[in-house]
Structure 1
Amino acid sequence: MDISGLLTSAGINISICAVLFSLYSVLRKQPSNASVYFTRRFISEPVGPDDPFGLYRFVPSAGWLMRAWKATDEELLEAGGVDAVVFMRIVVFSLRIFIIATVVCISLVLPVNYYGRDMEHKSLRVEPYDVFTIGNVQEGSRMLWAHCFALYVISFSAFVLLYLEYKSITKMRLAHITGSHPNPSHFTILVRGIPWSQDHSYSKSVENFFSTYYPDTYVAHQMVYRPSTVHKLKKDAKKMYRMLRPVETEYVVRGDKPCYLCGGTAHTFKVIRNGVDDFTSQTTIDELHPTQIEKECPAAFVFFKNRYAAVVAAQVLQSSNPMLWVTQLAPEPHDVYWSNLSIPYKQVWVRKISSLLCALAFVFVFCFPVAFVQGLTRPDVLTQWFPKLKGLLKNQFVNRVVTGYLPSVVLISLMYTVPPIMMLLSKIEGNVSRSERKRSACIKVLNFTIWNVFFVNVFSGSFIEQVSVFSKLQELPFQLARQMPDQAAFFTTYVLSSGWASLACELIQLYNLVYNFIVKFIVRSTKEPTNIALTFPHHTEIPRMLLFGLLGFTFAILAPLILPFLLVYFFLAFLVYRNQLLHVYVTKYESAGLFWPVVHNTTIFSLVLTQVIAVAVFALKLAPVASGATIPLIVFTLLFNEYCRKRFSQVFRRSPAQVLIEMDRRDEQMGREEGFYNQLRSEYCQLAYITKDLTISEDFSRAGPNRQCEDDRSCQDEDENSLRQGIQHIKLQK
């Protein structure tokens, strides 16, 4: 590819971005699109079409860019929580490191590459891309020290920035733990692998075990039931509600009432009907379903008096058989993935191995379409596959579009199938929390992307040739050193297509926009669409950003022309993602920055890979001194990673006892709320989080913000008070 082909691809993507950015600035001003572009505000405080008609509503503007730029971290923290702030810190870190890399490499490395050989240069528009890579440098040239110096500057800058970000995010995580209100998950552990006994139920086994071995701190427990039982109870309540709907009822908000599935307490409604002024009788799940004991799962939530006791119980081996009485800290109530709690713990390791094998098989199969995409970048291969295109490719513009722009578009289209499949595999694994499932999917997508998009594309050619490359692992760095400069043009166009264009599509929210249009203007529904609220897709955006980071590091000294395009991408990402986190995405649960260790480890991998490739490149260029000078940099990178692992990463895996004990003492001094321990059971009420559709009255449909269900990306009303009304109706009917 020559520079004119790269400019053609850049022009196409710039045009797409300009059109979509302008279209977004117009669409966001239309009152009918409030549920699409202001979802966070819309679901909690519905807005009507009170905006007066004016010409300005149809004129593109850039005011939203300034508002996103001026937004503070405090506003972002309030809107999206710690995870939103951490994601933006990833963007800021990438922006800072590649500003440094761009300045150093464009001013120092790029001229060395361009004038690396004694040759007559053509006009820049018709210059081949290869003259801007390290492949154009003469073997044995002393100017290769410029590349070694640039690599040292980039590596040490990354060390400093990584350390500062890791330290800051660790403090933010601890501040979130200590500064928040008493979180039910801090006092709760999840127990799985409860042994079966013929003498009594699982519930009795849990009570006997923890009252015996934790007599001073054990409070109560809540069993997990099979989903079919919970759905049966929901169906009965819904059916009874439909029968009693014509009866006039008055709902008055009252104090604490029992949660009829779990036995705990929760804020409910008082039912006043035909002179009945009070309703105090408690209905348990066993009264509604006599065979409920048979429906119990070997899993339970166990509640403790303080945080420290819960952490100790979660981290200690409970039995001589590690497969029994397996404990862990419970996820937040809204983070629990209820359908996976019924999976027997003995099946979990089988599921993990199976999902891993399926992921590896998918990676292997995906190598074939990636190899096909690489064939599209070569005109000779393309004419061999499609002889009829030979005449068409003689046109210079068509040739540039087909070989420069089309392959990256095809690869991006294929990559859209990866996140849903990886999310499904993460669900099959048996993860008990939504955040854990999304983090697992993020790691799978990241590994898949690095392998298929980076390595398989670098080793271009037939699939047999790609496999033969790995026959000798010691040859791998040298193969990378030979192949990567040739693939720099493809990855530059990939950054343009997958980076710039994807940000524009992220702004438009095409799926939600089309759905909103159909509901309002084709179906003519009078109700506002409330099932378009989304949580932030960490499992798609973080892998893409880390892949671009990998490309930036590895090509910084090999083909620095990619760096300005990456820099523009990260700058646009800073504005776009900040706008989306403030206005569009809804936070349902909080992982308190658990994605940052993934980012840190991937960045270290990118640095080490870059340094190893640099050693091989210098060796191939007959510069043994520069090659030997790079080896200490690899050692220092590994030592730095080990220090960060010892210093910071443990905080993301375990809760510090010192912090928990201080929080417990503070609660004792201030006095804990009366009935706090009873409220723990209602927080982990299984029925409240599985119920989706039961609504008692239209008057209460806007009583609180709807919560988003990630599986079908729909916003669901999971208010447990609604279903409890139906259960109370059942009791009254009796």
Structure 2
Amino acid sequence: MNIFENPNEPDKDKCLGDNYVGPGMKDTQVQLVISLALGLSAFLAFCTLRPRWKSLYAARKRHSNSAIGLPALPDTFFGWMPVLYKITEQQVLASAGLDAYVFLAFFKMAMRLFAAMFFFAAVVLEPINRHYVDGRSPSINSTQSFLFHQYETYRTYEHAALLGDSEPPDREPDNSFNHDMGYLWSYLVFTYFFTGLTFYFMDKETSKVLRVRQHYLGTQSTITDRTFRLSHIPKDLRTEDAIKDLVQKLEIGKVETVTICREWKALDRLMEERQIILAKLEETWSVYLGHKPLAVTGSQPNGDTINGRAGPQDPMDEEAGETDRLLRGANAQTFVERERPQTRFWYGFLRLQSRKTDAIDYYTERLRRLDERIMAARKKTYDAADLAFVTMDSVAACQMAIQALIDPQPGRLLTKPAPAPSDIVWSNTYAPRLSRRVRSWAITVFVAVLSVIWLVPVAFLASVLSICTINNVFPAFAQWLKEHEIARTLVQTGLPTLVVSLLNVAVPYLYDFLSYHQGMLSQGDIALSVISKNFFFTFFNIFLIFTVFGAVTSIFDVLRNSLRDTTYIAYTLARKIEDLSVFYTNFIMLQGLGLFPFRLLQFGSVALYPINRMGAKTPRDFAQMVQPPMFYYGFYLPTALLVFILCLVYSALPGGFWVLGLGLAYFSLGYFTYKYQLLYAMDQPQHATGGAWPMICYRVMLGLVVFQLTMSGYLALRRAFTVALLVVPLFVATLWYGWGFRRRVEPLTKFISLRSVKRADDGEEGESVMVDGDDDGTGVERMGRDVLRRGSTVDEDREKGLRFVNPSLIVPLEQPWIYQDPPPPLVQSDAGYATTPVAGSDDGEPESDLPLLGAESPRVVSASSTPSSSVSLGDTHIWRD
């Protein structure tokens, strides 16, 4: 029941947004049983399958050299849990890198914060609520009457303002100093206390993250750490020598290499086309080798029947004895050549003519001609773009270039840190700047509009599942639901929670696709953009719209009312937060207790495995199936941030200790789930430098602002206006903290301080400073790099031999992967392409170094295939591109 409905009036059949989710203890109990049933079944299934499916649940441990330093997990049912718990932060950092460390640091910070808040909320605040709110305060009906009276007073004032009446109705007296309402001051105290706790833990964890990040990046020297990105280059400087001279004259260090991005669009398209043809050729070979040889059946005593035609009698049959004929049988079979697959190609005027031909020969010839065109394209000179990558001789020189202004004119020669070579989206490096800006703004506007549109299906599904809507359409079914409380709870509360959770899982895939086409230069920028977009969706749709606005049609009403009275949003937020407490409690419960074990189980990969197995045809497909799946932070971090905000918002409200307890369980289970996946099961982007931490902190500050607005509105609804007004300094302090964070802390999350860069003469090159468990930095533990990092960081291992060069220019061309072992890549020589020598074949005999897909070998012939009887293609016009 909506607390703002007049309890003295009869019930009305209204299907408003406030009635979608009806609060009740039975709803929470049923949701708890469902969540525990789902979670325990998934967890037990994971414990059972983990030692059996190591190719899935230990994929990273089996394929990544970075995971060598991790301990092996026992194959017992629960034995892996203590070993995983004992893995230290140093091991996480050495094996998974900074992004994994930062991601898990957020979960550890949330665990510590909500454990402390849960203690004080349960021990101090909850007894006050039980004594005053549940004891001496009016009953539920009288409380609803009081809130309804307050709401009607506000609406009367609003109506008078619309009519132009300057005299508002008399306000109720301030209850701030009412002796019977004195307990409201405890809410103000705990609002300040919980805000201070959040600042304390966040500031403490931020200092630790910065210290670890600076030491980690300062002690390594990868090509990425020594390279900066130079953009907005004027046309007269778009040569390697000109840029090198420019940087050399700055006297900040020596330039090793300069890579100017050029218009490689034609070459990149040829490489994309080659990948398509290569996949088709491999699929054609798999079809051909998968066919059984044709059989020649002899059913006549005086001759064989071959393909339905009578053939001459075998002369050996005349001399064969009766025993031989009896042993061979009347239906003797002789195996002949496999049937070669055919394909149809189109040619002629407007590609109107077609012809079927041998598919292996066709795709092999197309691949050979593409290789020739790629060879020629690689030797061409392309126009220079306004972007370059400059590699310095030291990390310090690179950092000085990044943190300095190069050109006196605004908007020219801008420097930024360079992404890893394998992280660059090369197609965007030469795209016109205007085109990338248009795409960026268009997708940003589309995401903003889409976030509003998402409310329509959410509100529709929620309204369809409400009792009042069902009563209007199916009265008998609604009556049955009213008589069966558990069924009503499943329909009215459980299903909306499940729908919102599933939408929260599916939408990130769409935003990931949109971010990839937004024109960003690196995969790291795309990942951060996905985090931002998905958080905007979860916060705007699942929280802000669902609570403050209620429905799309009321957005403009709320905005109009808030312009006339700045306290309107605080009133509305506090009122709706109370109404939707059961919904958000069930949401946190389902996300933590129910869905985290399914993420540990990797239910999506398990469910899709039979489909992928049936769709796999080539050895390359089967090899990709056993590769570790990618861990995308943008898919998981926004939901965790939303749960963090919900825990803050409900922390000081009556019954808030339940939400804090569920939040503590959520972040505890999430920490160990993601710790296992990041270390053993899933891979991550390369050379990530913890760029998500400032995003996390800013969204925590946003949660504090919402928490303070909610508490101010909650106190104002109880006419404690003075107490509500005293929350305003907290709001100002949060904004001031955010401004200081941006000025003092954020630069250290983007750059490396010059004092942190370790040089050879510092005496610390062989050591690194890692912090595990120390809070003030006094207990710093120093480990030898050969112990902690195995001689190098995970980034240094990944970037050995990499250069800032478009892969289309230098990558060896792949041969068709036909058999179980992958073929060697083609290497370029003066005479063309030839394969590298192979040590030996499957039968132990060395294979000859024969040219493959070169000018003298127009098609691939396997050892088990027979010469094709198809017509020779030669140099006919049908393969000319």
2:56 corresponds to 1:36: yes
User: Is this contact kept in 2: 1:376–1:403, CA < 8 A?
Assistant: no
Change (3 A) 1:76 1:299: same
Q: 1:177 aligns with which of 198, 201, 217?
A: 217
Name 1:610's counterpart in structure 2: 707
Structure 1 residue 43: deviation in Å? 2.0
Residue-by-residue CA offset, 1:357-377 (whole Å, 9 max, x unaligned) = 011111111121232244357
Instruction: Specify the SS of the correspondent of 2:225.
Output: helix
Query: Which of residues 473, 485, 494 in structure 2 aligns to 1:396?
Result: 485
- The aligned counterpart of 1:356 is 444
State the one-letter code of the partner of 2:270: K
1:210 corresponds to: 244
Does 1:220 find its partner at 2:236?
A: no
Unaligned runs of 5+ in 1: 48-55, 122-126, 244-282, 671-675, 704-721
For residue 107 of structure 1, the aligned residue among 123, 128, 143 is 123
Q: Which residue of 2 aligns with 1:477?
A: 570
Select between 433-442 and 522-531 the one with higher mean Cα deviation: 522-531
Selected match of 2:753 from 631, 656, 672? 656
TM-score, structure 2 normalization = 0.65
Q: Does the CA-based 8 Å contact 2:716-2:724 persist in structure 1?
A: yes
Per-residue deviation, 1:523: 6.8
SS of the residue aligned with 1:416? helix
Change beyond 3 A, Cα 1:729–1:391:
farther
Cα distance in 2 for partners of 1:206, 1:224 equals: 10
Q: Which has the higher Rg, Structure 1 or Structure 2?
A: 2
Amino acid at match of 1:441: V
Counting aligned pairs with the same residue, the percent is: 19
Query: Is residue 2:694 matched to residue 1:597?
Result: yes
Are 2:243 and 2:258, in contact at CA under 8 Å, matched by a contact in 1?
Answer: no
Contact 2:270 2:374 in 1 (8 A): no
CA contact (8 A) 1:333 1:683 kept: yes
Change (3 A) 1:430 1:480: same
Using the alignment, how far apart are the partners of 1:511 and 1:423 within structure 2? 17
Cα distance in 1 between the residues matched to 2:433 and 2:536:
26
In structure 2, give the amino acid aligned to 1:224. Answer: C
Q: 1:691 to 1:305 in 2, by over 3 A?
A: closer
Q: Distance in 2 between matches of 1:486 and 1:212?
A: 64
Q: State which of 794, 803, 808 in structure 2 corresponds to 1:683.
A: 803
Is 2:747 the counterpart of 1:725? no
Shift, 1:730, TM fit: 2.2
Letter in 2 for 1:188: T
Cα distance in 1, alignment partners of residues 385 and 580 from structure 2: 54
Per-residue deviation, residues 555-605 of structure 1 (Å, max 9, x unmatched): 112241322222211121122111112211213413221111111111111
| Residue type of the alignment partner of 2:199 | F
Q: Distance in 2 between matches of 1:157 and 1:513?
A: 41
Partner of 2:270: 232
| Alignment RMSD (CA, Å) | 4.1
Aligned counterpart, 1:333 = 421
Partner amino acid, structure 2, of 1:229: L
Secondary structure of 2:391's match?
strand
Deviations 1:458-510 (A, max 9, x none): 13644323431121331111111122101111111111223332212211112
Asked whether the equivalents of residues 84 and 676 of structure 2 are also in contact (C-alpha less than 8 Å), the reply is yes
Moved more, 641-650 or 497-506: 641-650
> 1:533 maps to what in 2?
628
Find the partner of 1:4 among 26, 42, 46.
26
Q: Distance in 1 between matches of 2:710 and 2:64?
A: 52
Alignment of 1:310-321 (within 5 A): 310-319=398-407
Q: 1:664 to 1:230 in 2, by over 3 A?
A: farther
- 1:702: Cα distance to partner? 8.3
Cα deviation for residue 306 of structure 1 reads: 3.1
Q: Is the 8 A contact 1:193 1:345 kept in 2?
A: no
* Structure 1 residue 574 corresponds to structure 2 residue 671: yes
Please tell me whether the aligned partners of residues 41 and 583 of structure 1 are also in contact (alpha carbons under 8 angstroms). yes
- Give secondary structure in 1 for the equivalent of 2:691: coil
Which whole-Å deviations, capped at 9, do the CAs of 1:301-328 have from their partners, x for residues lacking one?
Answer: 2223333443344455555665554432
Equivalent residue letter for 2:434: K
Check conservation: 1:477, 1:613, Cα contact below 8 A: yes
Q: State whether residues 299 and 341 of structure 1, in contact with CA within 8 Å, keep that contact through their aligned partners in structure 2.
A: yes
Choose 444-453 or 384-393, whichever is displaced more: 384-393
Verify the 8 A CA contact 1:191 1:300 in the aligned structure 2.
Answer: yes
Please tell me whether residue 95 in structure 1 is matched to residue 132 in structure 2.
no
What is the match of residue 16 of structure 1?
38
Aligned residue identity for 1:43: H
Partner residue of 1:495? 588
Instruction: Describe the shift of the 1:523–1:483 C-alpha distance in structure 2 as closer, same or farther (beyond 3 A).
Output: closer
Q: Alpha-carbon deviation of 1:227?
A: 4.5
Q: Is the 8 A contact 1:194 1:206 kept in 2?
A: no
Structure 2: 5+ residue stretches without partners: 1-22, 68-73, 151-173, 283-370, 767-795, 835-853, 856-881
Aligned equivalents of 1:112, 1:669: Cα separation in 2: 57
Q: What amino acid sits opposite 1:683 in the alignment?
A: R
Partner of 2:389: helix, strand, or coil?
strand
Quote the Cα distance in structure 1 between the aligned partners of 2:195 and 2:102: 22
Cα distance 1:535–1:625, how it changes in 2: closer, same or farther (>3 A)?
Answer: same
Superposition map of 1:376-387 within 5 A:
378-384=466-472, 387=475
